[in-house]
Amino acid sequence: MNIIKHGQKVVTNLSNIEGIITATIIRFESIVYEISYFNNNEYKQIWLTEFEFDVKNLDRKKIGLK
C-alpha cells in the first residue's frame, strides 16, 4: 500500500485551503489524512480522503509488511 508522505503541501478542493499532511489513518483499504492549516492565526485540522484535496509535488511512501 502507498500513502502520501507527512509534510506534503496540499490544497483542498472545496475551499482552496492550503495546509500540510500531519497524520494518516488506515482502516482496511480506506486511507484518511489529517490536514493541518492556519485560519486567521488559528491552528486547525481537518480529516480528508485523497480525492478531497490536490497535492503539490506528490511523494508517496510504501508501507506494510514485506
Q: What CATH number does the domain containing 10 carry?
A: 2.30.30.70
pTM (2 decimals)?
0.83
What's the number of domains the chain is made of?
1
Query: Is 63 in contact with 49 (CB distance < 8 Å)?
Result: no
Q: What percent of the chain has pLDDT over 70?
A: 88
* pLDDT score at 2: 83
Considering the domain boundaries, does residue 63 fall inside one? Answer: no
Which whole-number Å values give the CA distances from 59 to 1, 2, 9, 16, 55, in the listed order? 14, 10, 10, 20, 9
Count CA atoms within 13 Å of residue 28 on its CB side.
Answer: 0
* pLDDT score at 66: 62
At residue 25, does pLDDT exceed 70? Answer: yes
At residue 61, does pLDDT exceed 80? Answer: no
